[in-house]
Every structure is written in C-alpha cells, then in structure tokens.
Amino acid sequence: MKVTKLLHTRMRVSDMEQTIAFYRGVLGLEVIERKTSPRGSHLAFLKVPNSDELIELTSFPPSGPVHVQEDLVHLAFQVDSLDDTIAALTAKGVKITDGPTQTSSGSRFLFIDAPDGYEIELIERPAGVKIV
C-alpha cells in the first residue's frame, strides 16, 4: 500500500465561527464547504491559495473546549512579503508571538496564534528557495 496524496488536515476547535473568522479575515482562506457529520460534529473545509490540500475544522460542542498544548502542532503558510504581513497583522490587531526570525537560507518567519492556541507560522522565502 502507498498513499497517493494528502487531502486535508483536521483540527478540532472550540468556537467554529470565531475560528472561521480568523482564517478568513487574517489569513484570507476560503470556506468551500460546511456540513454536519452523522455524529453531530460541525465541519468546515478551508481552501488555501495555491494548494490542493484543505484544512478541515471540526467542532463537537459536547466534548467541551479544545486545549492545545504549547508547541504541539502548527500550520505553516508562505507569504510574499513578511514586512507587508507584519503591517497587515498589526492593522488587524493580531499579536506576533515569536519573530520575525531570519534563517541561514535567507527565509524569514514569524508566529501568531489562531483561536484555541494553534500556532501559525508565516514564512517569506527568497526566490528559488524550496526548503521545507
């Protein structure tokens, strides 16, 4: 057996509307589908520009609030300009939790927190750099 493609990553969230507002308003992601699963979970699928993979948000209120451990998991997104990103985050009142930092390859990155404490890494890469 061999998998052929990554389709989506699921993240459980406490407040679906707050989380969708963050991903749409701060990061510019698009909600392409919302539904309720047979067991009652609320689902939202988010499209990331220039990517085939989706982010699946799920909320299951009977299980209570989500508690994400620090440095457990993060999503990383590429941006064209970290300076422009910092300006946009500042204008929206989004706190930068770490960085900006420059790597030896010339990439620059910073971290912000999404609702529930999920970390978001925003990375600017120099042209031609394909580092993971």
- Residue 96 located in a structural domain: yes
Same domain? For 78 and 123 the reply is yes
Structural domain range at position 57:
1-63
Instruction: Flag whether the pTM goes above 0.85.
Output: yes
User: What tens digit of pLDDT does each residue of 103-117 get?
Assistant: 988 899 999 999 999
Q: Which of 63, 85, 100 represents a domain boundary (last residue)?
A: 63
Same domain? For 72 and 43 the reply is no
Say what the pLDDT of residue 131 is: 57
pLDDT of 14 higher than 90: yes
Say what the pLDDT of residue 129 is: 65
Same domain? For 31 and 52 the reply is yes
Q: Which of 43, 63, 83 represents a domain boundary (last residue)?
A: 63
pLDDT of 97 higher than 80: yes
Length of the chain: 132
pLDDT of 132 higher than 80: no
CATH number of the domain at 120, please: 3.10.180.10
What sign for the dihedral angle of Cα 40, 117, 82, 87?
positive
Q: Which of 36, 63, 90 represents a domain boundary (last residue)?
A: 63
User: What tens digit of pLDDT does each residue of 29-79 get?
Assistant: 999 999 999 988 999 999 999 999 999 999 998 888 888 888 778 999 999
Same domain? For 52 and 93 the reply is no
**Domains of the chain: total:** 2
Same domain? For 47 and 74 the reply is no
Secondary structure element (H or E) that encloses residue 21, with its range = helix 16-25
